[in-house]
Amino acid sequence: MEASARGRSARKPAARIARRFRMEVGILFLALAWMTGPPDLGAEEYQKLEIAADVKSRFSDGCSSVQELLTQAEVRGLDGLIFGDHDRISIQYGVPYLENVLRIKMDSPSLLSNGAATFLSEINQVDRSDDTVVLVPGVESAPFYYWQGNPLDGNLVAHNWDKHLLVVGLPNSLDYEEIPTLNSSFTTRYMKENLFIFLICVVATLVGLYGFMGKSWRGAYLLFALVMSLFAVNTHPFKSSPFHPYLDWGIEPYQNVIDYANSKGALVFWNHLETPVAEKIDNGLFDVHTRTERHPTDLLVTRHYTGFQAMNETPVTAVDPGHEWDQILRMYLVGAREKPAWGYGANDFHCEATGPNKLGAVRTVVLAKQKNRASVLEALGAGRMYAVKHTKDPLRLSLDTFELVDTATHQRAIMGETLKTKNSPDIGVRLSTAGATPSRAHVRLIRNGRVAKHAVLNLPYEGVWQDPGLDPSRPAYYRLMVEIDDQHQLVSNPIFFDPGTRGQPGLALARLEPSPKPTPMPAAPAESQPALADTQPTPAEPQAAPPPEIQPSKAEAGLQYAEVTANGVRLRKGPSTKFPIAGKANKGEQLVFVRRTKMKYKGKAWIIVKHNGRQAYVWEGLVKIQ
């Protein structure tokens, strides 16, 4: 009994000490929680993945296999690749009324000619075998072109030949086969619209054959049957597109592809909106010219696409304050569009070391939940991304933080998201340069299409801004444009502010006028400005910038030519005989000389030429540069 009592009395102080320790830990935890505030509402952790988008492989006019591209991506420090091989590179011109029978057709290797099933199988197999780089299948489609002119007069032109849409995430090979483009695979999608005329021609053919079996007018009936059979073939109902290239159908063929992509759960982006193209294709019989004008206004007249190419090697004016992108975003604020448009960076990569664009020179940085294909597609669709261009490694802009924060409720929103609050938010910004010494950059914060802040900041930079010019009763959006020089730029996607009035009937915003471009970077040291102020000068009336001129055709431009000196010269898709054959040329044929590469064989370089409007490679020992 005494021993038991002594044991209990010895354990009582230890129990009291343990309870006191737990109480003190609990008080400390509550104090820390009070000091740091409640947890962020709606905040989520994301991974930054650097993606090269719109990458071509050997399945179309690229130089590398899928495995080789993955290896190059690892060297470049990329986390993912989004492929953009051409679905069909085909152009044809036919005799009126028999244009699908009596025709001249020019084809180049493309995804569909090489096999969509093989394309998907190879990407999926390589993606499963290596988790360091995420591979996302995609296809660049030129849905439509239309003819003007006459081949006999030498002025035949195919318009909009280089008007492209990037479709990402189609789930199976049949979906690729049925993309509604001209000159593609047979489908039954438009059979109902074309069946009536086809049946009439078939019936007429049968009538002609029945008459031929009679005793009189056999020759006439046979001729009639042959003609009507040609018409039946010409009007077959299994067309790949509901449009034909002998009439300008406007924006309809492109909206048709957008709607198709949406019906398959894929993402679709406008590409190369501001790159005018004029080329000549030599088909051996007569000259064919192609011409594609700048078309950024197509962003305004099409609907339901995911986004557009906001960053490329060349300037994209649609992202400038007050231009097409801001007009779309403002329409979304007032309820005139169902969803906003997101901007991505297009690498437009074809060949390493020889092509004009290096792999990863333009990147799309996505904020993904996980490092896999599904998370990348989800981030692209949600707009959690920014585009960055850099020519010189390692100088690359990095947007480490861009968010709207309600300090009262601790809610926050990042790119592609909406902060729903009636309180004026703080704007958190953190910028740096990846792998480089500190730099200075022009930073423009754009609110509803106007520059709300323009400063020159020393990088790395971190600050929190307030916007005294914001009307907290009206919806708004913010986006960033950052520039060190014309070769090192960054464009963010918007963050939306909604006090509960977005899309309400009768809501109107102030008249939008393009903001002036920033002045050249001053030599004086930059001063950090933590408070946001409307420093924009009084805007002038909008001045529409003249569109870049279309480049002249090769015959008019006085470019150099390479004359083939032997018959059956094989043109390659890369600077080596190991690359696939891109075409053949015979002695005396004139190829447009583009430039020499650094790759040599027996002391002579491989050169880049243009053949039938497409780039190819040929050894200099087989041509004579004129």
Strand intervals (E) in 235-306: 267-271, 277-282, 287-292
What are the φ/ψ torsions at residue 236 (nearest 5 degrees)? -55, 150
d(CA 225, CA 207): 7
Statement to judge: residues 292 and 146 lie in one domain? yes
Statement to judge: residues 86 and 166 lie in one domain? yes
Three-state DSSP at 462 gives strand
- Name the CA dihedral angle for 142, 272, 350, 435, rounded to a multiple of 10 degrees: -150
Statement to judge: residues 469 and 385 lie in one domain? no
Q: Cβ distance 309 to 269 under 8 Å?
A: yes
Statement to judge: residues 384 and 414 lie in one domain? no
Q: Cβ distance 53 to 344 under 8 Å?
A: yes
Strand intervals (E) in 383-460: 385-390, 396-406, 411-413, 418-420, 426-434, 439-447, 450-459
The DSSP result for 382-402, as a single string, is HT-EEEEEESSTT-EEEEEEE
Write out the H or E segment, with its range, that includes residue 584. Answer: strand 581-585
Statement to judge: residues 109 and 124 lie in one domain? yes
Statement to judge: residues 448 and 327 lie in one domain? no
d(CA 313, CA 348): 9
Assess if residue 1 is contained within a domain: no
Residue that terminates a domain, selected from 234, 269, 296 = 234
pLDDT tens readout for residues 326-377: 999 999 999 999 999 999 999 999 987 666 678 999 999 999 999 999 999 9
Assess if residue 2 is contained within a domain: no
CATH number assigned to the domain comprising residue 427 = 2.60.40
Statement to judge: residues 92 and 161 lie in one domain? yes
CATH number assigned to the domain comprising residue 621 = 2.30.30.40
Range of the domain at 501: 396-508
Per residue, the 3-state secondary structure of 83-107, as one string, reads ECEECCEEEEEEECCEEEEEEEEEE
Strand order across the 426-434 sheet: 411-413, 396-406, 426-434, 461-466
Statement to judge: residues 70 and 160 lie in one domain? yes
At 71 the pLDDT is 94
Assess if residue 65 is contained within a domain: yes
Write out the H or E segment, with its range, that includes residue 617. Answer: strand 614-619
Sign of CA dihedral 151, 154, 155, 157: positive
Return the half-sphere exposure (C-beta side, CA atoms, 13 A cut-off) of residue 590.
Answer: 10
Statement to judge: residues 148 and 273 lie in one domain? yes
At 36 the pLDDT is 40
d(CA 73, CA 67): 10
State CA 569 to chain mean position distance.
35
Assess if residue 172 is contained within a domain: yes
Assess if residue 284 is contained within a domain: yes
* Tokens at 303, concatenated: 């609907």
At 355 the pLDDT is 61
Global pTM exceeds 0.85:
no
d(CA 478, CA 316): 19
d(CA 74, CA 69): 9
Sign of CA dihedral 214, 217, 220, 224: negative
Q: Cβ distance 256 to 180 under 8 Å?
A: yes
The domain tally of the chain equals: 4
d(CA 146, CA 93): 10
Q: At what angle do helices 191-212 and 218-234 cross, to 10 degrees?
A: 170
* Tokens at 214, concatenated: 């009679």
Residue that terminates a domain, selected from 508, 533, 565 = 508
Assess if residue 26 is contained within a domain: no
The one-letter amino acid code at 502 reads R
Statement to judge: residues 308 and 165 lie in one domain? yes
At 510 the pLDDT is 60
Angle at 579 between CA 576 and CA 584, to 5 degrees: 90
d(CA 230, CA 96): 13
Segments in the chain below pLDDT 50: 1-15, 17-18, 21-23, 25-43, 515-558
State CA 18 to chain mean position distance.
62
d(CA 66, CA 55): 10
List the alpha helices (DSSP H) in 271-397.
Answer: 298-301, 324-333, 373-382
Question: Length of the chain in residues, anyone?
Answer: 626
Q: At what angle do helices 116-129 and 66-75 cross, to 10 degrees?
A: 40
Statement to judge: residues 133 and 263 lie in one domain? yes
Sign of CA dihedral 508, 513, 514, 520: negative
d(CA 17, CA 95): 99
Three-state DSSP at 48 gives strand
What are the φ/ψ torsions at residue 167 (nearest 5 degrees)? -110, 125
d(CA 474, CA 499): 7
d(CA 256, CA 291): 22
Assess if residue 24 is contained within a domain: no
At 264 the pLDDT is 96
What are the φ/ψ torsions at residue 67 (nearest 5 degrees)? -65, -40
Q: Cβ distance 227 to 97 under 8 Å?
A: no
Residue that terminates a domain, selected from 357, 390, 423 = 390
* Tokens at 548, concatenated: 């870049």
Statement to judge: residues 225 and 338 lie in one domain? no
Assess if residue 496 is contained within a domain: yes
d(CA 396, CA 487): 10
d(CA 474, CA 353): 50
Residue in 479, 390, 353 with CA at minimum distance from that of residue 50: 390
Q: How far are the Cα atoms of 168, 196, 445, 453 from residue 536, in angstroms, in the given order?
A: 38, 62, 11, 7
Contacts of 213 (CB under 8 A, 6+ apart): none
Strand order across the 569-572 sheet: 581-585, 569-572, 614-619, 604-611, 590-601, 561-564, 623-625
Write out the H or E segment, with its range, that includes residue 166. Answer: strand 164-168
d(CA 403, CA 492): 11
Q: Cβ distance 458 to 440 under 8 Å?
A: yes
At 34 the pLDDT is 36
